[in-house]
Amino acid sequence: MADVLRELKRVAAAMSDAGLEGVLIGNAAAALHGAPVGTTDLDFFVRSGGLTRKKILAVAEKLSRKKILAVSEKLGGVAIQPFAPVSYRYRIEGTPFPIDMVLVAHGIHSFDGLRRRSTVLPLGSGGRAVYVAALQDVIKSKRASARPKDLAVLSILEETLNEKERQEKA
């Protein structure tokens, strides 16, 4: 079985060391909130700024086993932008699972708002933690994105949210 916790710890440590702020979004966040869904990658919505690209590459260099794969410029590391310049998504490869760092996502308007509504998942000793986007935000983003694979899981995410709210009220 894939060791998600170990990988999350590694990612949290690398992001913290690089000064990169991020919130886990997508199906991984939904699954941590209890939705019975699976995924093949970890998606992080990261705070955008002048040094973001440099920070993402620093994270990539720390996490990845591969050496050079930078696509648009030969910066080293393994962060690639497969759909640049139309997409703001960086993909880190050479890790146990691909990790996506996105600067823009459907339905998410502010990094601060997303982080404020998120849940902090402590990752054991060492003070590392991961911000996990609220299930409402994941649903909102998937609905706004409206890709078939996002729409396919919407009903199960909504059912999880309803059940969670029912249990909180009870």
Partner 1 sequence: MKKSGKKRLSRRAMLRALRREADEAELAHIRERLALPMIKRTNFMFVKLPGGGYAL
Could you tell me which stretch among 4-12, 16-24, 109-117, 139-147 binds partner 1 (CB under 8 A)?
4-12
Shortest distance in whole angstroms from residue 73 CB to partner 1: 27
* CA–CA separation, 111 and 105 (whole Å): 10
**Out of 33, 53, 55, 91, which residue is the one contacting partner 1 (CB under 8 A)?**
33
8 Å CB contact between 106 and 145:
yes
Phi–psi pair at 97, nearest 5 degrees: -130, 150
**Out of 32, 57, 63, 105, which residue is the one contacting partner 1 (CB under 8 A)?**
32
Cis peptide bond upstream of 96, omega within 30: no
User: 89-92 and 22-25: which strand pairing?
Assistant: unpaired
| Site for partner 1 contains 52 (CB under 8 A) | no
Residue ranges in contact with partner 1 by CB under 8 A: 1-2, 4-5, 8, 27-28, 31-40, 96-97, 119, 121-122, 132, 156, 159-160, 163-164, 167
